[in-house]
């Protein structure tokens, strides 16, 4: 049987001012008709470069040194521009990581879907519009006719991704490339997208190349897995066998870094007094016409407390109110009710004085957005030292405690990796010697091995300083490894607040059970 995709000894380099950088080295992969191959590896391993090579959409500085890329026996590398136009979209579809960047914000969803169908299936405008409605209905989108008239900003992230998947499958391709399609989505939405993918695969028999850094997820959607490291495929095997008996050291390290709820990383309990508490906390956002002029409640009536050294995990899908809690506690959002600190009930951010802001620090999800790109690392860390009475002599110690060399003080953020930037953000938070650090999805954009290193760092800092963490995440498997208790948010309300050990009991809220069921766990 001829493979749908046959990559044979493919080598790719990028020409840079510093010389040639080899990003793919003698890569050989095959995908049979109807099969899904998972491609896993860390950032910079070459996963996305391979996807763009298959799509024949490489940058101008790319140089292909050797190898073949064949689609159903036809050499894609030998095709001209006109032939490739007939391949992209029609024979090979692609679903990207961030659905918001895959859609044109100035065009309605219907126009974008219909244009693709008219181009690749030769339909008239009217026929393409009707086929678009049916395609959206087929991916379980409600009121598809009305949805076709909306713009991307008027629908959720999960709905955007369903539109993109519907469009890709409606073109009836032979192969679809999925490049981290659920990374930007919460766990429940991601699980629903994967279930949709499974159903559409069964109906169409399409082959898939599923790219991800999440081994647990890949093991559930792919029959085979290829592990790529620094441009080389180091291991290929059945998905179950990869978890059960990995043969390469790199694969073993990736498997070991995958969060497993049964492998607890924190065994001691929190002690001492309450650090921070919420009493009837509520946050309202503006007034939306869609809701009859009433405020949209990001959180309502939340009661919880954190003790010294406690790790409280906060979980829930997008829009549940997790980050709203972080904004209220850090003084970035006005609130009703009270935040209680050192026995004082604070009724507004204005009452959060210097002592409060020193004691309660926050680390955001994207360090690129929270670190000023114009300042060196040393300047970024010096500011909180000046604000809270620290000495400049402490700067090397701050870097050392987050496992960065002292000379990193002279670097700019763009000279650091994603994990290194997050370490700088953590060091900045600890410059204030806080009692509580709010971690708002800080591991979401990181590879699994980098995530494991950052979590290990946080636990080490907790042991050293007795710091409490409010750990906001959509990764239930990770939070079950490190948290003492878990707060479950849904539509702005706290529906569960319980110990990690109580998660398996029948007493948990039905929504909590849904979260547990949706969380990807390793198969093997």
pLDDT tens digits for range 100-142: 888 999 999 999 999 999 999 999 999 999 999 999 999 989 8
Q: How far is CA 209 from the centre of its chain?
A: 19
Q: Where are the alpha helices (DSSP H) in 294-408?
A: 322-329, 354-359, 367-370, 377-387, 395-401
Q: What is the number of alpha carbons within 13 Å of residue 522 lying toward its C-beta?
A: 21
How many residues make up the chain in this entry? 524
Q: What is the pLDDT of residue 292?
A: 57
What is the arithmetic mean of pLDDT over 497-506? 86
Burial class (CB in 10 A: 0-12, 13-18, 19+), 221: buried
Q: Are 339 and 280 in contact (CB under 8 A)?
A: no
What is the arithmetic mean of pLDDT over 32-57? 93
Residue 208 reports pLDDT greater than 90:
yes
Residue 455 reports pLDDT greater than 70:
yes
* Beta-sheet pairing, 62-71 with 436-440: unpaired
For Cα atoms 441, 447, 453, give the angle at the middle one, nearest 5 degrees: 80
* Beta-sheet pairing, 74-75 with 62-71: antiparallel
What is the arithmetic mean of pLDDT over 140-166? 91
Bridge partners (DSSP) of residue 14 are 21, 62
Q: Which of 183, 213, 181, 168 has the alpha carbon at shortest distance from 39?
A: 213
Give me 91's structure tokens: 């024979």
Q: How confident is the model at residue 418 (pLDDT cuts 50, 70, 90)?
A: confident
Q: What is the pLDDT of residue 355?
A: 94
Q: What is the pLDDT of residue 102?
A: 86
Give me 275's structure tokens: 């650090």
Q: Which of 327, 317, 323, 280 has the alpha carbon at shortest distance from 300?
A: 280
Q: Are 424 and 381 in contact (CB under 8 A)?
A: yes
Give me 261's structure tokens: 């709820």
Q: Are 184 and 157 in contact (CB under 8 A)?
A: yes
For Cα atoms 152, 154, 155, give the angle at the middle one, nearest 5 degrees: 75
Residue 198 reports pLDDT greater than 80:
yes
Q: Residue 372 CB: number of other CB atoms within 10 A? A: 11
H/E element, 147: helix 144-147
Say what percent of the chain tops pLDDT 70.
Answer: 98
What's the CA dihedral at 446, 452, 454, 458 to 10 degrees?
Answer: 140
Q: Is 271 helix (H, G, I), strand (E, B) or coil?
A: coil
Q: What is the pLDDT of residue 172?
A: 92
Q: Are 399 and 427 in contact (CB under 8 A)?
A: yes
> Which range has highest mean pLDDT (186-190, 366-370, 439-443)?
439-443
Q: Are 321 and 299 in contact (CB under 8 A)?
A: yes
Q: What is the pLDDT of residue 20?
A: 94
Q: What is the pLDDT of residue 273?
A: 92
Residue 42 reports pLDDT greater than 90:
no
Cβ neighbors of 193 (< 8 A, separation 6 or more) are: 158, 161, 162, 165, 181, 182, 185
Q: Which of 324, 364, 315 has the alpha carbon at shortest distance from 476?
A: 315
Q: Which residue segments constitute the domains of the chain, with CATH numbers given?
A: 5-103+174-257 (3.40.50.300), 274-518 (3.40.50.300)
Q: In whole angstroms, what is the distance from residue 485 CA to residue 465 CA?
A: 20
Q: Where are the alpha helices (DSSP H) in 245-394?
A: 249-257, 322-329, 354-359, 367-370, 377-387
Q: What mean pLDDT value characterizes the chain?
A: 91
pLDDT digits over 302-354, tens only?
A: 999 999 999 999 999 888 899 999 999 999 999 999 999 988 999 999 999 99
Q: What is the pLDDT of residue 293?
A: 60
Higher pLDDT, 373 or 417: 373
Range from 15-24, 187-196, 359-368 carrying the lowest mean pLDDT: 187-196
pLDDT digits over 236-289, tens only?
A: 999 889 888 999 999 999 888 888 888 899 988 877 899 999 999 999 986 555
Q: In whole angstroms, what is the distance from residue 446 CA to residue 449 CA?
A: 8
Q: How confident is the model at residue 523 (pLDDT cuts 50, 70, 90)?
A: low
Q: Are 13 and 22 in contact (CB under 8 A)?
A: yes
């Amino acid at each position: 049987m001829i493979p749908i995709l046959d990559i044979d000894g493919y080598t790719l380099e990028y020409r840079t001012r510093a010389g040639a950088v080899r990003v793919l080295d003698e890569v050989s992969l095959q995908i049979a008709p109807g099969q899904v191959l998972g491609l896993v590896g860390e950032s910079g391993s070459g996963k996305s470069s391979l996807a763009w090579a298959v799509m024949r959409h490489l940058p101008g500085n790319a140089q292909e040194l050797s190898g073949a890329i064949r689609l159903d026996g036809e050499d894609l590398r030998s095709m001209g521009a006109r032939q490739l136009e007939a391949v992209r979209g029609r024979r090979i579809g692609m679903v990207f990581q961030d659905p918001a960047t895959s859609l044109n914000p100035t065009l309605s969803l219907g126009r974008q879907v219909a244009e693709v169908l008219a181009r690749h299936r030769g339909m008239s405008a009217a026929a393409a519009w009707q086929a678009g409605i049916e395609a959206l209905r087929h991916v379980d989108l409600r009121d598809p006719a009305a949805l076709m008239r909306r713009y991307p900003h008027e629908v959720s992230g999960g709905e955007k991704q369903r539109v993109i998947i519907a469009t890709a499958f409606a073109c009836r391709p032979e192969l679809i490339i999925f490049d981290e399609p659920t990374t930007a989505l919460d766990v429940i939405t991601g699980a629903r997208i994967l279930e949709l993918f499974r159903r559409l695969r069964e109906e169409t028999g399409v082959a898939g190349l599923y790219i991800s850094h999440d081994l647990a997820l890949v093991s559930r959607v792919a029959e085979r897995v290829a592990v790529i490291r620094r441009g080389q495929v180091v291991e290929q095997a059945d998905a179950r066998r990869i978890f059960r008996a990995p043969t390469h050291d790199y694969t073993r390290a990736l498997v070991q870094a995958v969060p497993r709820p049964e492998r607890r990383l924190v065994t001691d309990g929190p002690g001492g007094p309450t650090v921070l508490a919420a009493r009837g906390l509520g946050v309202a956002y503006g007034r939306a016409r869609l809701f009859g002029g009433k405020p949209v409640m990001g959180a309502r009536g939340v009661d919880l407390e954190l003790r010294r050294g406690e790790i409280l995990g906060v979980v829930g899908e997008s829009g549940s109110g997790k980050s709203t809690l972080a904004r209220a506690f850090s003084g970035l959002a006005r609130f009703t009710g009270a935040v209680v600190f050192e026995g004082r009930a604070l009724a507004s951010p204005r009452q959060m004085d210097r002592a409060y802001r020193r004691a309660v620090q926050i680390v955001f999800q994207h360090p690129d957005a929270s670190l000023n790109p114009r300042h060196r690392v040393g300047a970024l860390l010096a500011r909180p030292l000046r604000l809270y009475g620290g000495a400049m002599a402490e700067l090397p110690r701050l870097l050392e405690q987050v496992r960065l060399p002292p000379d990193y003080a002279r670097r700019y953020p763009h000279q650091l990796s994603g994990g290194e930037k997050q370490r700088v953000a953590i060091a900045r938070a600890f410059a204030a010697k806080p009692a509580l650090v709010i971690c708002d999805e800080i591991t979401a954009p990181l590879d699994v091995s980098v995530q494991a290193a950052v979590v290990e760092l946080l636990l080490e800092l907790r042991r050293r300083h007795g710091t409490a963490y409010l750990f906001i995440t959509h990764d239930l498997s990770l939070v079950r490894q490190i948290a003492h208790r878990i707060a479950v948010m849904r539509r702005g309300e706290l529906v569960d607040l319980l110990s990690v050990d109580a998660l398996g009991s029948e007493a948990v809220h039905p929504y909590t059970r849904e979260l547990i069921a949706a969380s990807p766990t390793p198969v093997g």
